[in-house]
Structure 1
Amino acid sequence: MATVTSESQAALASELAETISASELTVADELFSALDVMDHSAALRRALTDPSREPQERAAVVRSLFGAQAQQKTVTMLEAVVSRRWGADRDLGEAIENLAVTVVAAQAERTGLQGLEELEGALLGFRHTVAGSHEVQHALTDHQAPASAKQKLAARLSPAASAEARLLIDRAVTAPRGMRPTALVGEFASTVAARQQRWIAQVTVAKDLGGAYLEKLSSSLDRYFGRELRLDVVVDPTVVGGIRAQVGDEVVDSTVAARLNSLQRKISR
């Protein structure tokens, strides 16, 4: 079923490319709102992912629910999503969420590559700020706290955020859909990076690296993965030494901790 979902995701990206590029931020907001409606109704999700229903029938359900209150571009995207097959109803929601984020990225891209880089930087900057404070993390994951309070806190933590970054950050802190806000912001940043045909390299080191070494590391990782990478460096003393770099599902781990673990597994056999 994972193959079905992957094929549907790829088909959507191609089918909706022009619509996404021509959409405003309000379309992304409407997609998120539609996703909220679906997340709160298991019956609706089942109806929209039921393979026994014809695609046109599922699209008609979307039109009846959102046609009068959403823009045509929004409805077009929702119809395209529900017309595809998905491995699980969760995949349907993730597809809509990904479309919304891609619309935001496309909006930022209208000012060129710099706009995408600024959006990505704002998202990663917010994630690092939150990750550095247990108190802030607790405030943003407190189920008793109202969404408005979380939005206000997020705004104080990212006062210079653009309209695009603000929309995604607010979404992550108010509707993380079972994830930690920092993790969801990281996924949003990865989607923005994919729009730039780049990947984010999550690099873990034992201590802060100097600027010259970081430049060499960046060049080496670019050559290894065959892509221009944005380094997202995290200092973790438990790795002892060496470097761990993860790009997507691929991991390069040369840390002392990893080598010790490998040796221990060999000894225990």
Structure 2
Amino acid sequence: MAQGGTIIAGVAGRYASALFDLAKEAGSLEAVEGDLKRFDALVAGSPDLARLVTSPAFSAEEQERGVAAVLAKAGIGGLAANFIRLVASKRRLFAVRDMVRAYSALVAREKGIVHAEVTLAEEPSQKALDEIKAAVKAVAGGEIALDVKIDPAILGGLIVKLGSRMVDASLRYKLNSIRFAMKEVG
């Protein structure tokens, strides 16, 4: 298993762990991650490719041929391309996007990077984003990868998820707390 017994569940985790071990041995963790992310972006940006990847209607051979053509056109080669073709041949292409995310998580862990998710009501300014990143970095005690999501439903404030911890400082949460307290009184 990758990284000192890291346990990642499911098909995606097993494939990602195996690829991580191979890429680490080859000294190409970042190169493989970059190629995988490029392929993932292609899948996200093309409904036809997404259908090829997720639909059980296509045979393994059809998926292999289609993926090989996309990889060649995109200039994705080496370990990442071999991995994606293997996944297609084993009829596991439906999980390739989860495999990419799991692989990226393993690379981040290897580098000591902690993943944090911040949800805001609106797009933050660069200054606000820098302040949030600095505050989360101080709590995490190391390098962080910040994933910013916009959700107008929280009305204001922010929600921060760091590992298994979550801080909800949203206006929606505060209003719900007040509403609940008012019901208790009356």
The TM tier, using the shorter chain, reads 0.5 to 0.7
Opposite residue 248 of structure 1, the aligned amino acid is G
Distance between the aligned counterparts of 2:139 and 2:56, measured in 1? 42
Structure 1 equivalent of residue 132 of structure 2: 217
Instruction: Give 1:193 deviation, angstroms.
Output: 0.8
2:149 is the alignment partner of 1:234: yes
Opposite residue 92 of structure 2, the aligned amino acid is A
2:17 is the alignment partner of 1:102: no
Opposite residue 100 of structure 1, the aligned amino acid is A
Distance between the aligned counterparts of 2:156 and 2:11, measured in 1? 40
Decide which moves more: 250-259 or 163-172: 163-172
Preserved contact between residue 105 and residue 195 of structure 1 (Cα < 8 Å): no
Preserved contact between residue 3 and residue 110 of structure 2 (Cα < 8 Å): no
SS in 2 for 1:182: helix
Structure 1 equivalent of residue 122 of structure 2: 207
Distance between the aligned counterparts of 1:257 and 1:136, measured in 2? 38
Distance 1:233 1:167, change over 3 A: farther
Structure 2 equivalent of residue 151 of structure 1: 67
1:25-44 to 2 correspondence within 5 Å? Answer: none
Structure 2 equivalent of residue 247 of structure 1: 162
The two structures have a TM-score, normalised by structure 2, of: 0.64
Distance 1:170 1:134, change over 3 A: same
Superposed CA deviations along residues 186-239 of structure 1, whole A, max 9, x for unmatched, are: 122101111112122233333333333333222221111112111233334344
Distance between the aligned counterparts of 2:98 and 2:54, measured in 1? 12
Structure 1 equivalent of residue 106 of structure 2: 191
2:88 is the alignment partner of 1:175: no
Preserved contact between residue 200 and residue 230 of structure 1 (Cα < 8 Å): yes
SS in 2 for 1:202: strand
Which of 1 and 2 has higher RCO (CA within 8 Å, sep 6+)?
Answer: 2
Identity across matched positions, percent: 21
Instruction: Give 1:254 deviation, angstroms.
Output: 2.7
Distance between the aligned counterparts of 1:238 and 1:195, measured in 2? 35
Instruction: Tell me how many residue pairs correspond in the alignment.
Output: 178
Preserved contact between residue 19 and residue 103 of structure 2 (Cα < 8 Å): yes
Instruction: Give 1:183 deviation, angstroms.
Output: 3.1
Distance 1:135 1:91, change over 3 A: closer
Preserved contact between residue 116 and residue 145 of structure 2 (Cα < 8 Å): yes
The two structures have a TM-score, normalised by structure 1, of: 0.48
Distance between the aligned counterparts of 1:163 and 1:132, measured in 2? 23
Distance 1:206 1:268, change over 3 A: same
Opposite residue 195 of structure 1, the aligned amino acid is E
Instruction: Give 1:126 deviation, angstroms.
Output: 4.9
Opposite residue 124 of structure 2, the aligned amino acid is L
Distance between the aligned counterparts of 2:181 and 2:46, measured in 1? 38
Structure 1 portions without partners, runs of 5+: 1-8, 16-85
Structure 2 portions without partners, runs of 5+: none
Opposite residue 143 of structure 1, the aligned amino acid is P
